[in-house]
A and B are shown apart, each in its own frame.
Chain A
Amino acid sequence: MRNLWKAVNNMEELFVGYVLLILAFGATWQVVMRYGFNIAYDWFEEWARYLTILVTFMGASLGVKYGTHFSMEALTQYSPDWLAHLLKVVANLVASIIMAVACYFAWIQISKLARYGVLTPATQVPMWIPYLPIGLFSAVISIRFFMQSVKHGKAILSKEPFCRTRGPA
């Protein structure tokens, strides 16, 4: 079960990476076609923009897991371990709540767009589809922030030292 979970996590990370890579190859292909054959694909730029939204929100949820979101660590850096953990409990809880609120309103927006049948300008695809990553991944981000909050809460109880190193940035 643990191996399966690890494989799913790995797939999630690679998926976002390869979407970016495909977009890079797509944009280069676009340049070649435009200058070589005078052909421009209208749909590419529109879908590249929408896929950026997917990459942002899916990647941001991974960022919570790896602690790569930038924050001001001036206080946690120099406070005792229990206080640093406590600050993180509150900070992650605030983040979890605001992302839950964003998720709620994202779904209201998605259902409104679906109800009114709004379409994207170039490819005429239902507009709620590009909004979908915001609704889905703000929920995942909220859950992951909550899990981080719980993790730091447990660390206070078990008197675990506070890790003061930065993420892969």
Chain B
Amino acid sequence: MIAFMFILFGALLVLSTPIAIVLLTVTGATLYFYLGVPLQAIVQQLFNGMDNFILLAIPFFILAGSIMAEGSISKYLVDVMNLLVGRFRGGLAFASVLACIFFAAISGSSPATVIAIGGIMIPALVKSGYGDRFSTGLLTCAGSLGILIPPSIPMVLYCLVMNASVGKLFMAGFLPGLLIGGVLMLYAFILARKHGWRTTQDISFREGLRLIKKASWGLAMPVIVLGGIYTGIFTPTEAAAVSVVYAVLVEVFIYKGLTWSRFNKTLKEATVLSASLLFIIACAMTFIWLLTREQLPVKAAEFIVAHVGNKYLFLFAINILLLIIGCLMDIVSAILVLSPILFVTLQEFDIDLIHFGIMMIVNVEFGFLTFPFGLNLFVSMGITGKTLTDVAKAVMPFLFLLLICLLIITYVPSISLVLPNWLMP
């Protein structure tokens, strides 16, 4: 049965069948041919899988991210970050990374962060004499922080399939996100010293105050959304809903940067994208039900523990596997399928679910940046007009930096766990 599932899964994937359909077909065929279960069970599981309030957080975060990426919040955020660090050597690059970190704290999406900040900062960096390739690579990579710094859409998905705490995983993403942001800024500083990149800017105190005042609506957002979750005022799903309402009110009625026709277009695109993701989840939940019913995670754990000596080797192997998968298919779907299979193995090796979740999310970042299917590469192509190969080449040095960070995050669990263990014991 396992061989049948494996072969059918691989064959349908290679055919370029949509991943949701692959999951549904494998589940249906296994139930019908091997287990003799009436196929009505599929419909029940599709329904049960979707009958969960936390799922709504995903379309809400996508919608809020899209509205803010289309609107003016990102522009004002960039102005403030530039005001804070722009005067230093390589300051515009620092401002870019900080703006990505800040935007990541109000949006849960990596491509939305690249669109919002990259759309403004890549041309600005190039104009200020920062290298073309460096500017594209930096923003494409820093945009991926959108999913590591909370809120984060893939984190909600991981928690859904692993039954983990969304609040804890969100909290665990802070320090790894800042680590990666710090490494990117350090690299920018070294290059800025080498090439003498400096932006001369002269902003008066009054002008600075005006910029901060203008950006205050955007600056207040993480305090409202994340503060609301951690003070227990609202659940992560409600936080996502609040961020949509806040984004609509600020962008449409206060900043007035979004016309109704553009708003409707954004709404349509965000909805179709959300539904594609939700449909994968519905089908994945059906597949996960089958896995659990047949105790496949237990069998996988027995096999892995017998063949992989220790947890360090296991974590290394998972990282390699995910890096390869990220080059072949949509990494978020891969995580939806792989994580539940590995659930029992994690218990056997005594690996913390939250730590493993953060490691998975950093791997998703890689998946967003690797040739030829990385979503961020496509977004940067759209912004810069470069070819996919050129963007992929620009990202290469940053991938190396991200790899170092991934290894640190994998083998030093306390980076991920110190905050949730301290603040949410």
Contact yes or no, B15 A105, CB < 8 A: no
- A-chain residues with CB within 8 Å of residue B40 when the two chains form the complex: 105, 108-109, 112
- B-chain residues with CB within 8 Å of residue A62 when the two chains form the complex: 271-272, 275
A90 to B234, CA, bound (A): 46
Partner of B272, one of A49, A50, A68, A94: A68
Contact yes or no, B275 A17, CB < 8 A: no
Interface residues of B (CB under 8 A from A): 12-21, 24-25, 28, 38-40, 42-44, 46-47, 50-53, 55-56, 59-60, 63, 111, 228, 233-234, 237-238, 240-242, 244-245, 248, 264, 267-276, 278-280, 282, 328-330, 332-333, 372-373, 375, 378
Contact yes or no, A18 B267, CB < 8 A: yes
- A-chain residues with CB within 8 Å of residue B233 when the two chains form the complex: 31, 35
- A-chain residues with CB within 8 Å of residue B271 when the two chains form the complex: 13, 16-17, 20, 55, 59, 62
Contact yes or no, B17 A59, CB < 8 A: no
- A-chain residues with CB within 8 Å of residue B60 when the two chains form the complex: 20, 23-24, 27
- A-chain residues with CB within 8 Å of residue B111 when the two chains form the complex: 169
Pick 18 A–B contacts, CB within 8 A, sort by A: A13-B271, A25-B245, A27-B60, A27-B237, A31-B234, A49-B55, A50-B51, A52-B59, A53-B50, A55-B59, A66-B272, A70-B280, A72-B13, A76-B16, A87-B15, A87-B16, A99-B21, A134-B43
Chain A: residues with Cβ within 8 Å of the partner, total of 62
Contact yes or no, A27 B21, CB < 8 A: no
A10 to B15, CA, bound (A): 31
A45 at the binding interface (Cβ < 8 Å): yes
Contact yes or no, A73 B16, CB < 8 A: yes
Contact yes or no, A70 B241, CB < 8 A: no
In the complex with contacts A16-B271, A59-B279, A98-B24, A71-B59 CB distance below 8 A: no
- B-chain residues with CB within 8 Å of residue A16 when the two chains form the complex: 271-272, 275
Contact yes or no, A69 B279, CB < 8 A: yes
Q: Which A residues from 9 to 29 make CB contacts under 8 A with B?
A: 13-14, 16-18, 20-21, 23-28
- A-chain residues with CB within 8 Å of residue B234 when the two chains form the complex: 31
A25 to B249, CA, bound (A): 11
Which DSSP category, helix, strand, loop or mixed, fits chain B's interface? Answer: helix
Contact yes or no, B267 A169, CB < 8 A: no
- A-chain residues with CB within 8 Å of residue B241 when the two chains form the complex: 23-28, 31
Partner of B333, one of A63, A68, A70, A98: A70
Partner of B278, one of A23, A52, A169: A52
Contact yes or no, B276 A69, CB < 8 A: yes
- A-chain residues with CB within 8 Å of residue B63 when the two chains form the complex: 20-21, 24
- B-chain residues with CB within 8 Å of residue A52 when the two chains form the complex: 50, 55-56, 59, 278
Residue ID in chain A nearest B278 by CB atoms: A56
* Across the A-B interface, the 5 shortest Cβ-Cβ residue pairs: A59-B275, A27-B241, A17-B267, A69-B18, A24-B244
Contact yes or no, A72 B275, CB < 8 A: no
In the complex with contacts A24-B60, A77-B372, A14-B50 CB distance below 8 A: no
In the complex with contacts A59-B272, A66-B272, A98-B21 CB distance below 8 A: yes
Contact yes or no, A68 B276, CB < 8 A: yes
A 25-54 to B, binary, CB cutoff 8 A, 1 in contact else 0 = 111101100010000000001001110110
- A-chain residues with CB within 8 Å of residue B44 when the two chains form the complex: 109
Closest Cβ–Cβ distance, residue B13 to chain A (whole Å): 5
12 further A-B pairs in the complex, CB-CB below 8 A; given A17-B268, A62-B271, A102-B46: A14-B267, A17-B267, A24-B63, A57-B279, A62-B275, A68-B272, A69-B279, A71-B13, A71-B16, A72-B328, A131-B43, A169-B273
A101 to B46, CA, bound (A): 13
Partner of A49, one of B18, B52, B275: B52
A105 to B286, CA, bound (A): 14
- A-chain residues with CB within 8 Å of residue B278 when the two chains form the complex: 52, 55-56, 59-60
- B-chain residues with CB within 8 Å of residue A31 when the two chains form the complex: 228, 233-234, 238, 241-242
- B-chain residues with CB within 8 Å of residue A98 when the two chains form the complex: 21, 24-25, 28
A91 at the binding interface (Cβ < 8 Å): yes
A98 to B19, CA, bound (A): 13
A1 at the binding interface (Cβ < 8 Å): no
A139 at the binding interface (Cβ < 8 Å): no
Q: Which A residues from 66 to 86 make CB contacts under 8 A with B?
A: 66, 68-77
A159 at the binding interface (Cβ < 8 Å): no
Residue ID in chain A nearest B111 by CB atoms: A169
- B-chain residues with CB within 8 Å of residue A90 when the two chains form the complex: 15
A80 to B238, CA, bound (A): 48
A76 to B14, CA, bound (A): 9
Of the listed residues B12, B25, B268, the one surrounded by the most CB atoms of chain A closer than 10 A to its CB is: B268
Partner of B264, one of A17, A72, A106: A17
Contact yes or no, B268 A95, CB < 8 A: no
